[in-house]
Structure 1
Amino acid sequence: PTTDKITQAAMGTIYLCKFRVSMDGEWLCLRELDDISLTPDPEPTHEDPNYLMANERMNLMNMAKLSIKGLIESALNLGRTLDSDYAPLQQFFVVMEHCLKHGLKAKKTFLGQNKSFWGPLELVEKLVPEAAEITASVKDLPGLKTPVGRGRAWLRLALMQKKLSEYMKALINKKELLSEFYEPNALMMEEEGAIIAGLLVGLNVIDANFCMKGEDLDSQVGVIDFSMYLKDGNSSKGSEGDGQITAILDQKNYVEELNRHLNATVNNLQAKVDALEKSNTKLTEELAVANNRIITLQEEMERVKEESSYILESNRKGPKQDRTSEGQALSEARKHLKEETQLRLDVEKELEIQISMRQEMELAMKMLEKDVCEKQDALVSLRQQLDDLRALKHELAFKLQSSDLGVKQKSELNSRLEEKTNQMAATIKQLEQSEKDLVKQAKTLNSAANKLIPKHH
């Protein structure tokens, strides 16, 4: 009987025990273990159950990492709300179901033993009051007849509510309550469960929408599709090319972003130049008026001096009353002259401010020219990388011709490389055209700045 139980347990966990799940970057690798057999040996050796359970926990944790990471990346790339038909989302729920079922104690019923993860999920509403809403919604859903279906619906509603990580953390922190449902070495009772709960925080950036009424959650078969994560050992060379293409595309995006910033800077400088031209024209007119008034005041001052000299000469011979009236007229003339002199000083101060603004504009023009030079260097670097990429493409094409295995995959890789190369060539042409436009704009701004210099002098 003990041997039969061990065989049944091995059959039930063949997807986890017969293979070792490991991660290679963003891919999943399965390695077959030779030390596990489904039929007992004539003289069976006692396999350590703790080792098997630890291996299962590690495999499930790696699967959860890949599933969550792939789901977040694909959702952000799509930029839309996910629904129940999205394959990575379906696989995520399958992985979560296996995590919740791991090490679950069987409950005896009239129909035999039954394992359901709905029981632990019902505890969440006692730990987090916000979970009572989705628990009540699950119980009120029509068509759910089994605890498994209710558990699957609960997971979907928790993800829609963006509280799945919070609920799982609250549940894992109560080991004394979980011990009623799980074995001591189950995933939910060990460190791997806490790690998965922490990884679930990243799913809060995803918007999901599910229609529970049309789904048959009771009869769905929860089988993990490893084909979404498996990596062929012969694909490492292609991944190197993809990595280089990704790096070049990142640089292209950086140059495009830099180009947008430079265009915005050019527009801002153009607006400042227009404003300075208008202000300069206005100041020139005011300066001309002020100069005319200064000339008039100088003439008037000369006339007043002459009159003062004449009055002094006449006062020496005339009465004292005439001296007093002429002195008042002279003081008024001096006061008027002082006001006009102050006005001239104000105009000169405003002119100095405009000259400093022009100097700042010239400095901004120099910085813009420096940015254009840096962008030109980046374009040269991109051309060099494009040549390297083309050489890599030819090398991969040669290797594809000499290899009989994976011809279809490598031909598709070659076509993708050609397409991306053409895209990069078109992008570089666009960047060169953009660079020419920026140089033209820089020259225009430089000529505008040169036109402003004579006006101030």
Structure 2
Amino acid sequence: MATKDPTAVERANLLNMAKLSIKGLIESALSFGRTLDSDYPPLQQFFVVMEHCLKHGLKGRKSFLSYNKTIWGPLELVEKLYPEAEEIGASVRDLPGLKTPLGRARAWLRLALMQKKMADYLRCLIIQRELLSEFYEYHALMMEEEGAVIVGLLVGLNVIDANLCVKGEDLDSQVGVIDFSMYLKNEEEIGNKERNVQVAAILDQKNYVEELNRQLNSTVSSLHSRVDSLEKSNTKLIEELAIAKNNIIKLQEENHQLRSENELILMRTRQHLEVTKVDVETELQTYKHSRQGLDEMYNDARRQLRDESQLRQDVENELSVQVGMKHEMELAMKLLEKDIHEKQDTLIGLRQQLEEVKAINIEMYQRLQGSEDGLKEKNEIIARLEEKTNKITTAMRQLEQSDNDLLTQTRTIAVSLVKSASSDPQDQYKLVKDISF
């Protein structure tokens, strides 16, 4: 028996886990509510499974200390391939609590799920296999068909809404372990799950029917208005048709009268055929001309009726165009009102800021005037102090000079006293030395 390729088995296992995780997440979200938060266990397991799928076959990159494997590299590449992903990349890099590339990749996955763009981002990534080969081995899940299948399954997540708080969550130190017990359920739980799915489907159908009913009511109201307008135009056409019928009846009476006259003329011509042959031919020509005029009038009436029908169709088309233009104008008026309110709020804020800046300028001007007055006073005090310092310096110099003169006079007097007091030179030297000290 031939052994299977371990990498193929790993890809199959990850694909099955992704199927179970996405299916369970969608079914549970439809059963208990479409809005999910960060503490929802199926949602946490989904992120763990996606992390394992993205890590499969990832090449090791040599860092300063050792080799590391991170999925932030290929996810960061999405910005170059999909311009709309630049905003999510900038948001992840601006988050203050993220310190590792793995934490940034986890935050990226959560933001992509909230934007309902995870399938689109990863689809444009797996298409560029030449660029992915820089990050993944050739046998990696993202390089094989299993990656495309998982991206296709991710489209189903667009039916749910996720409300995740990424800013305060510790994404760097989380341990990504798949909890298989969530997907090993007994028959009773499966039955309850199926019933919940059926109930959710019935509720969805009810909501769809209600929405369809609302749309039909709006359509019926618009149709009623169109019917009213058409009835008005129809009454006008009926009146015109009645007038045309009256004209036709008159023409038929005239035609009948002409026919009776023709019969009388024929009877007279039969009686007086030879005598009034020329007169009969003249009357016959007159009758033909009158018959041709009647046919022309009948054709004109039919042509007018056909034109009125075409005019009615044109009026209906014009009415539908006018209704569409009315809806577009109402939408444009709402957008203009919203823009005007926003600009008014901005103008009020700018006016408040201008008043605050004016108050600050006045306060700064007052402080500047006070500081200038204080500076003048301090300059005057410094000038007085310098004058006093100069006087004190001069006095000290005079005192030092007087002290020196006094010391010289004292030494002279002491020497003279020593000389007069003792005749021994040694005793004189000692006395002079003591006096100098």
* TM-score normalised by structure 1 residue count: 0.43
| Greater fraction helix | 2
| Larger-gyration structure (1/2) | 2
* TM-score normalised by structure 2 residue count: 0.45
